[in-house]
Amino acid sequence: MGCFFSRRRKPAQGGQQPQPAGAGQETGTGEQKAPQYSWDLRAKVDPKDYTFSGLKNETVGRLPGKVAGQQFVIQDCENCKIYIFDHSATITLDDCVNCQIFLGPIKGSVFFRDCKDCKCVVACQQFRTRDCRKLEVFLCCATQPIIESSTGMKFGCFQYYYPELALQFKDAGLSIFNNTWSNIHDFTPASGENNWGLLPETAVVQDYVPLPSSEELKAVRISTDATRSIIPVTRGLRQKNSDESCLAVFFAGDYTTANARKLIDEMSSKGFQLVQTKEVLMKAEDAHRVFQQSASEFIPLLEEGPVVALEFNGDGAVEQCQSTINEVFSGTKVFVSESKASASQDVDNFYNFADMQMGM
């Protein structure tokens, strides 16, 4: 059987013991400075700064920059208005009743447990509920939202804006174009019943989660106007109004996001509806499947970064999208469905590929 042992180091020349890295040095006055280590220089995190617990009938929140990617806990709150105007790592919410809640971009997961009668606006990578009842959520979620042992759940598309929000999405590693808000997976479906549904298309965020009333939180310049939302408002899985859809794909560049938003504005102003959006990396082999005979034209552009795809729906969508691209984006490479006959297949090809890439 082996044994562990240590050997005392020999004194350094002059009889001094060797000092650990970062140990103190003598000052000009002969005094010894206290050693400093890297862990001494880290900012101390007080869990109380990242917790709301046991509150009743209060309005509370955190301003931009006050959470800065930390984890947050909300628990045992009743009749409260809660606003987290910053990005975070994860957020858990336990035993909250009749609360109105805004949660800024969450890099990881948000988990609601044993909550009921709450109205929320949430942006996250992963969304999950367990043992919840009657939650109404305006949601942006990069992956498929999951509910478990939950009933009376209603979902709508995230609609919110304040000046710091775009950078917070970036800091949380979330794309404003990856939002599967309506593609809910129910782990515990009940036979003959539906535990979840969609909020009315006419639902207004401010009617569910009003703007904060406290003087401190009023400093955040908020808009709940859907046309200003940092997240493009999509129809999701709602029934389409037309049999005709069109796919438009922008390639990576300095103005990809701005160009995509511009096309959304142009098409929406003409009465066409944005069904879904996606931002995803593509390879050459993917291009052949999605772009088919046009693949060789677009393959070199894929090396620049992810593409942004938009699906528009409405009678005449293909013709109007082609016309808008030619008029507004004449100097920009954009893939657009070539005909009404091929458009539906273009949409299916792209989004089936994108869902596989994102593990959905």
Give binding residues for GTP as ranges. Answer: 108-109, 125-128
Residues contributing to the annotated binding site: 108-109, 125-128
Long-range CB contacts (within 8 A, 24+) of 58-67: 59/83, 59/212, 59/213, 59/214, 59/217, 60/214, 61/85, 61/102, 61/212, 61/214, 61/216, 61/217, 62/86, 63/216, 63/217, 63/219, 63/220, 64/162, 64/164, 64/168, 64/220, 65/164, 67/104
Q: Which residues contact 227 (CB under 8 A, 6 or more apart)?
A: 265, 268
CA torsion, points 190, 205, 113, 193, in degrees to nearest 10? -10
161 DSSP 8-state letter: B
Using CA atoms, how far apart are residues 254 and 258, in angstroms rounded to an integer?
Answer: 9
